[in-house]
Amino acid sequence: MLPKILLPVLSFILLSSATFAQVRKVQGVVRDAQTNERLAFVSIAANDGETGTTTNLEGQYQLQHNKPIRSLRFSYVGYASQVVYPDSSQILNVYLQPAAAQLQEVIVHGTGENPAHRIIRLATQNREKHQLENIPAYTYRTYNKLILTATDTRQVDFSDTLQLSPQDSAYLKMRKLLDKQHLFLMESITDYAYLKPGKTKETILATRVSGLQQPSFGVVAAEARDFSVYEDMPVFFGKRYLSPLSPGSTRKYDFLLQETVAINGDTTFVISFKPEAGKNFDGLEGLLYINSNGWAVQNVLAQSAANDDKRGIKLQQRYEQVGAQQQWFPTELDVEITVPQLSLKGHQPYGHLRTYITNINLNPNLRKSDFGVIALQQKADAHLQPDSYYQQFRPDSLNALETRTYQRLDSVGKADKLDRTIRVMEYLMAKQIPLGPVSIDIPRIFKVSAFEGVRLGFGMHTNALWSERFIVGGYWGYGFRDEQEKYGADATVILHKPSELQLKAAYSEDVSEPGGRNLPYQHKGLLSNYRPAILPDLTYTTHKSITLGGRLFRYLQAQTQLRQEQHRPTLGVAADAQPLAYNLTEGVISFRYAYGEKYMQQFNQKILMPGSYPVLWLQYTRGLNNILDGNYSYNKYDMKLETSLRHRTFGESSIILTGGLVDGHAPFVSLYNGYGSNNPEYKVYIGEGFETMRPYEFFSDRFMALFFAHNFGKRFLRTSFFKPDVVAVTNVGWGDLLQPLEGMLPEQFSTMNKGFYESGLLLNNIISSTFSGIGVGAFYRYGPYAFDKAKDNLRVKLTLTIAF
């Protein structure tokens, strides 16, 4: 027997050992027990809710408590909950089993109300205080990683096969490659700043792209970061969806309270959502984790609820409370993108973008002068940062697969000179092909129009390798239908690069549209340059000008121009008549105001980021008589307004309002044609203009026009095989002419003083692919200028849309 004096000592040691063995801190990874996939946003409650946490996007968790951790409950929607009792180990990895069935909705019979609806309404009522745009100012740093890889869709075992087909060999080769590396890997570190209202600036501090030594671009999580369920109609990767937290969403969405987790006195409600059956709107589906502390969104998992989207996109966002004010703020973002229509040797390619937000400062010292129109730019030395710089912000070191991706693709990039290929692609995006210090202008090589037929030519300008301040160039072309050559030259001096102030002199012998609209700073899209193809008559024009233009303020661009032109029209001129010539000298002042418009400086060029506010153009032109051979004196005023309006459930409207006035004596080439596009030989919808009006059917010296289109999306026609986007169009125009048209007979034109009306219906994307769609549109002309025969008022055209 032990001496009695040793018994208390031994008891103390045993009790102390038990105390020290008690776990107060635990960490690990939660995975799917069947697929080994890491699970994000798993709820973890310690000691029946005394404290808790959730896993991050990597499935990792870390939990520390001021009391011994006796039990941990792991719960996740779609999986069986699991309770674990920690022992002395602080590392605890957990594998959850998928549940056989989802939890069923619980109805409180006393009121008959879905319990999820009360929580959704509380979250909707508290939206404003959690919206990031309502914070006066903030800054943060991001680490971004984009992986492009592919998954095995076939899972074929060829171990017993002696002979393989070429397709099987390619499949095995791709599978072996993906076992060793990804297809592409890119990382970046950025600094982001925000100042209310709406001023943003992001700077890429470091960028690394597999295969490239000097990347001129970096990955940012703009789409995932800007997505907010607090908005009524958030943009979800190029498309707007009705938010599950928009007013009245309980009448549109089916909400289901899946789980309730109590932690530290707060409760997290896990609510699934999807569009109600029979409701026809662009909706999302996924999970909302709503915290009772401020009724804020803690986690979001969302994807498109439609099965007809051309891309599969899944988004996850994690929010945490930061700063002294405990503001809910996103700290982790995750996006997975797949294109179901694409297959890569039996594998499904997909992209995976993950972003971690750190260094959050809710009280930065920011000023308006810190922000310009360039919202995203890259530091000159961003591609020179060492791996140790990235390691500061990575949540974990690169794994063997990622490291091998850099090593292999970097060596391949050097051998294949991928940097040179990227430089060529950058110039192609800018519509130029570099040849040393000069660049070939791609649009000058080939054109097609009703007047010129096929036009072949050549154009060239100097680039930054020659000079960053001076640009000179010229072009030459030949139209095979009109059998005339065209040519021109210009020179530009960049006076002040930050304000885009530049002085340009130009000379050309070319063609122009009589009575066309000419406003500067119009960003031409892919489908914006088709109008020349429908014009049967153009004017031969000798043009000389000097132009000074730039940015007066952040959102205001201005341009002044003095030009001398001689117009030799073909419209209204008989074949055997003496050609007319109009000599014009004009002074022009133009303005473009686009509030909130931003640009990003990527791929060595400035790219427009479309805004949500109206864009306004104003222009004044003065015809100068007896100056530089000018023969006409007049004042000309032009205006154009573009905007779009969104409705939560009825789609989006596009509105263009334009007008003009010529006061004084001017030739018809300086007036306004009706802007019609009804050419029987042309069957494609243009988008701006009158689809049932002939190009030169009307002329006016004063006019107004409204072009209205409303896109209902797939709300009206959504079947298994027929899912077009339905667009309703109405165009209205008015014009008058108070002066005679010199050189034209009255029977050659009309005026629109009685009002011109047409309406149409477009069915876009009847035939669609991953990147584009083809549809059909029908337009009908009615009102005072309708034709006698109904069939003459009808115009049917093809429509072309771009998916991205």
Q: What is the percent of the chain with per-residue pLDDT over 70, rounded to a whole number?
A: 88
User: Does residue 226 carry a pLDDT above 90?
Assistant: no
Query: Given this model, what pLDDT does residue 109 score?
Result: 45
Of the pLDDT bands very low, low, confident and very high (cuts 50, 70, 90), residue 145 is very high
CA atoms 582, 587, 593, 598: torsion sign: positive
- Position 527 scores a pLDDT of 47
DSSP letter at 685 equals: -
Query: Does 349 or 364 have the greater pLDDT score?
Result: 364
What residue has token string 């000298």? Answer: 585
Residue with the bigger pLDDT between 569 and 18: it is 569
Each residue of 347-356: pLDDT tens digit?
A: 888 888 899 9
Judged against a pLDDT cut of 80, whether residue 442 lies above it is answered with yes
Quick one: three-class SS letters along 279-318? CCCCCEEEEEEEECCCCEEEEEEEEECCCCCCCEEEEEEE
* Residue 743 · residue 668 · CB < 8 Å: yes
Least confident of 190-204, 219-233, 454-468, 724-738: 219-233
**Backbone dihedral angles phi then psi of residue 186, each to the nearest 5 degrees:** -145, 140
Backbone angles phi and psi of 778, in degrees to 5: -125, 135
Question: What integer pLDDT is reported at residue 651 of this predicted model?
Answer: 78
If we measure between CA atoms, which residue out of 363, 395, 526 comes closest to residue 40? Answer: 395
pLDDT higher for 234 or 760? 760
Q: How far apart are the first and last CA of the chain?
A: 85
Pairing of strands 756-768, 725-736: antiparallel
Residues in the chain: 804
Q: Calculate the alpha carbon distances from 764 to 681, 722, 778, 801, 804 in Å.
A: 21, 11, 11, 7, 15
- Predicted local distance difference test score (pLDDT) of residue 309: 59
Of the segments 290-304, 473-487, 643-657, which one has the largest average pLDDT value?
Answer: 473-487
Residues contacting residue 107 through CB under 8 Å, at least 6 positions apart: 113, 114, 115
Average pLDDT, the chain: 85
156-173 mean pLDDT = 65
Which amino acid is present at 367? R
Per-residue model confidence (pLDDT) at position 718: 61
CA–CA distance from 535 to each of 68, 104, 447, 697 (Å)? 82, 64, 13, 12
242 or 430, greater pLDDT: 242
* Mean pLDDT comparison of 80-89, 411-420, 459-468, highest-scoring range: 459-468
Structure tokens at 657: 């309002």
Q: What is the pLDDT of residue 122?
A: 94
CA distance 226 to 241: 13
Q: What is the pTM of this model?
A: 0.81
Distance CA 549, CA 217 (A): 28
Q: What is the pLDDT of residue 67?
A: 85
pLDDT per residue over 571-618, tens digit each?
876 555 566 889 999 999 999 999 988 888 887 778 887 778 899 999
Tell me, what DSSP letter sits at residue 102? P
Percentage, residues of the chain above pLDDT 90? 41
> Which residue is it, tokens 């999306």?
713
Contact (Cβ atoms closer than 8 angstroms) between residue 570 and residue 538: yes
Strands 199-209 and 374-378: parallel
pLDDT (tens digit per residue) in 322-342? 988 899 999 999 888 887 767
Measured at the alpha carbon of residue 369, what is the angle toward residues 363 and 374, in degrees to the nearest 5?
100
CA triplet 195, 196, 201: central angle to 5 degrees?
Answer: 35
Q: Which two tokens stand for residue 167?
A: 């397709």
- Tens of pLDDT, residue by residue over 415-440, are 777 777 777 777 677 788 888 899 99
How would you class 74 by CB atoms within 10 Å of its CB: exposed for 0-12, middle for 13-18, buried for 19 or more? buried
State CA 706 to chain mean position distance: 27
